[in-house]
Chain A
Amino acid sequence: MSRRRRDVRRPAGPPRRRTGRRHPSGRVPRPAGRRAEPQARRPENLEGTVVFRVPFPESLDALKGMTPIVVKQPYRIDYVHSFGQDSPFFAGLANGRLLGTRCRRCDYTYATPRLACMFCGGETDWVELPKVGRVHTFTTCYFGSEEFLPECPFSLILVEFEGVNTLFLARLIGVDPDRIRIGMEVRARFVRNAKFKPTDVYFVPGRVPS
């Protein structure tokens, strides 16, 4: 029908170039009433479709009584995480070395590294920690964060080291949960293939480092 209308309005001849005010995008606005192109559709496929028929009441008044619709929404992220000034710690683990930091001003020594002293604000320097320590406290986790559930049960300890002021959180492996005692001696072991996690080091009972 529109085609006929066009023929009636325009005289015969080559198609006229439309001139006049142009839309900022460069596209020429269509006159009102023009139908959309047949290809103007969102993709029609089964991707993301999980339910084909959804109950819907006759009357809009019944809508507020509708059972809530609950859907699954997956989400995942890859971070680009820099260990920054703490990087040497992780490099140390990969090389079988356990490093802490010591304040050059007040000598306070950190088993878990930090590059600024919490007491005097001074800069700290990297130092080697002993590989043998004692259990300061412990627990055995029978449940955990979702990521760690497959590893349960596992034992956590805070390790204290001679001549070091603060503690270090680590896994204790090779001891029955009932036999862990505060004060027991533990020694560090390192994984062969580093994963750049603090669990590249872990502790086992006994004194002689392996």
Chain B
Amino acid sequence: MALKGMRPVYVISGGVSKFTKARSDRTFQPIVKEAFDQALEDVGLDFGRANELIDGTVGSYFSDHFMRQLKAATMVQDYLGLCPKPSHRVEGGGATGGLGFQEGWKSVASGLMDVCLVFGWETMSHVETWKGNEFIALASDVSFDYPVGGFYSGYYAMMVVRHMHEFGTTVEQLAHVSVKNHTNALHNPYAQKRLRLTIRDVRAAPMVAYPLTRHDICVMSDGAACVLLASEEGLVAIERATGRTLPRVSVTGVGRGTDAMRMADRPHGDVILLPHEKASDYKGLKYPGVHSFRAGRMACKQAYQMAGITSPSRELSFVELHDAYTSSEIQTYEDMGLCRYGEGGPFAASGKTFMPGIDYGLKLKGQGTIPVNPSGGLIACGHPVGATGLMQAVFALWQLQGTIPERFGDPALQVKGARRGAIHSHAGTGTYVTVSILERQD
């Protein structure tokens, strides 16, 4: 179901820099250029032709604090050689990349542009880790939450403690997510953290905020990602310029949601239902409380409606979601309707979200019915905030093109026969969430 007056938008190509703890060899602009150059090289465009075809850009980065450089997106536009084309900077916490992707989609779908480049990055190594945590914590209410000693791992920990109380979720189920994503990343050369872990390793790691240990939490990173989006006309022009026929991967659904900044203010009301759910499924459940993300549910509801999805666990080939915390992945399974609210824990341990054909060192009942974070997710790839939402789009594109084996140099993470995937980007404690559906058309 297309939105009235909006044109189809194709995802043409993408690029990702190697995410790493610190890139002192380059300032932020050339790091973005690495991703940009890859996106162009991948599709066979030299800069001259790309410059003729690109109508405008969207720049996404989260925090001016990390670099103490305001208005940095204009410096990237400049360094990439794209001035004086139109551009627009997007910021939305952890959802920055997802929001940027959707702003790029809007630019093309509306008819304003035929080819739009979305670039995103974060360089977090300019401050020490705990100062970095402090900056991120400033994205919570600075009068009422931050001064209490709030920091994001603490907030997420409080959410999962309540989730455990409401639904019986266990720490071992959280650890399954960590084992899955870290093991997947062993097959992804772009991932920052590549560790073979067991459940025991995850639980034995240093406790950061009860019950989350180091291995339940993503790491800060320096990295960039780019996505090139185009209308039908733009895609044809690129094919003409490169002499190639490009796979047609289009954006068939977009959705967004928000929620109160302070977890304390989250209502205790009724579940926002997806088409395959009934109110009686959730009798007595106070929602979202501090155990669920209303914003995520809202974003999915919109995206699924637009894409015509009524049973997400069956109609999606894979999901790349925002797993800044293992607990957040479990909560997000529920928000996305991959399983019911309350069943996220058992779902995480069931094997359904694991990749088929990989040995995780775990006894799993069924493996790979709906792979989640085949790339390794944020937990293993790293979380350079402004880039991750776009990194997900690039990995999803490669899944749908069937090119993961050549790009990763390893076929293990290719979801076979992938036709439709969802990417999910998330900010704060679920204050902004974006969900986009990408689908192979040919």
Contact = CB atoms under 8 A, between A and B. Distances in A.
B130 A149 contact: yes
A144 B207 contact: no
A169 interface: yes
B24 A68 contact: yes
B206 A142 contact: yes
Interface size range on B against A: 35 or more
A137 to B, nearest CB: 4
A183 to B, nearest CB: 9
Contact of B210 (A75, A145, A171, A177): A177
B331 to A, nearest CB: 13
Contact of A110 (B154, B208, B265): B265
A191 interface: no
Contact of A137 (B24, B128, B162): B162
B171 interface: no
Contacts of B137: 145
A147 B208 contact: no
B109 interface: no
B265 A145 contact: no
Contacts of A147: 134
A95 interface: no
Interface in B135-190: 137, 143-151, 153-154, 157-159, 161-162, 165
Given A112-B144, A142-B207, A137 B165 contact: yes
A144 B265 contact: no
Given A141-B154, A142-B208, A182-B161, A158 B264 contact: yes
A56 B272 CA distance: 64
Given A137-B159, A139-B161, A158 B263 contact: yes
B218 to A, nearest CB: 14
A198 B157 contact: no
B12 interface: no
A130 to B, nearest CB: 16
B269 to A, nearest CB: 10
A131 interface: no
A108 to B, nearest CB: 9
B264 A166 contact: yes
B206 A182 contact: no
B290 A146 contact: no
A128 interface: no
A148 B153 contact: no
Interface in A151-191: 151, 154, 156, 158, 165-171, 177, 182
B151 A198 contact: no
A181 to B, nearest CB: 9
Most buried by B among A68, A75, A137, A158: A137
Contacts of B266: 166
Contact of A198 (B25, B133, B143, B211): B143
Nearest to A66: B25
Contacts of B148: 156, 169-171, 198-199
A136 interface: yes
Nearest to A183: B165
A177 B209 CA distance: 11
A138 B159 CA distance: 8
Contacts of B53: none
A39 interface: no
Most buried by B among A83, A144, A171: A144
Interface in A57-104: 68, 70, 73, 75, 83, 86
Contacts of B260: 118
A198 B263 CA distance: 15
A142 B210 CA distance: 8
A158 B161 CA distance: 11
A22 interface: no
B262 interface: yes
B237 to A, nearest CB: 35
Given A143-B153, A146-B131, A137 B68 contact: no
Given A118-B265, A158-B264, A139 B149 contact: no
Contacts of A27: none
B208 A138 contact: no
A191 to B, nearest CB: 13
B162 A141 contact: no
A111 interface: yes
Contact of A169 (B130, B157, B161, B264): B264
Nearest to B163: A137
Nearest to B22: A70
A171 B158 CA distance: 13
7 contacts: A138-B161, A139-B158, A142-B206, A142-B208, A143-B208, A143-B209, A169-B150
Given A137-B162, A166-B266, 7 more contacts: A112-B262, A139-B154, A140-B210, A145-B137, A145-B146, A145-B149, A198-B144
Which 9 residue pairs across A and B have the least CB separation, nearest first?
A: A145-B134, A139-B157, A167-B264, A137-B162, A146-B130, A148-B149, A197-B147, A145-B151, A146-B131
